[in-house]
Amino acid sequence: MILQPETDDLAAYLAADEVIDHKHSELRRAAAGLATPEAAFHYVRDQVAHSADAGSYSGAFRASEVLAARNAICHGKSHLLAALLRAQGVPTGLCYQRLEDGEGGFVLHALNAVHLDGRWSRLDARGNREGVDARYDLDRERLAWPVRPERGERDYPVVFVAPPASLVRALARAVPGRFGYDYLPAELPGDASVSLG
């Protein structure tokens, strides 16, 4: 898939905001301790539990909150990875997939794109489990969930600087301790829903 950055200005993919709050002192300390993009990826993938796998929903989605909770769904984990990598000086954006939710509908999955070696590459730090084997690989995508277009799933090609505002509002409705994703949209709103997949 050909990724489409929202902007050609790589500095935008280094900015801090309300969700990717990498100016936070604990985030900066963690990023420095991890030292490399690959170490940051492995930390988020392996040391920050995916809420569904842990059976405990933190509701955290701001990067600093996810770092403190060490538990989040894919959106929170992608925000944390973006913050850690931006703090290391690596331009990092957010990408999305529309995936089956296992209950007859769809859910929006979040992952990252990093700009290294002169190009964008997608990484998915969702967390591995049986049937999921995401890896740090800049040359060949090793995502948690390859899409199945025949089932209505899709990749969104846009590399977002920040999560869409409507998604942030949805994430803010998460109830800590409450199981499920019913607060998440099934797809991206508006013209962000254009897909190459």
- Series of mean pLDDT values for 10-residue runs along the chain (197 residues): 96 98 96 97 98 92 98 97 98 97 92 97 96 96 95 96 96 88 85 38
98, 115 in Cβ contact below 8 A? Answer: no
- pLDDT value for 103: 87
At which residue do the structure tokens 């538990």 appear? 71
- pLDDT value for 159: 98
Q: At what angle do helices 74-87 and 37-47 cross, to 10 degrees?
A: 150
Which pTM was predicted? 0.94
The pair phi, psi for residue 74, each rounded to 5°, is -55, -35
- pLDDT value for 190: 66
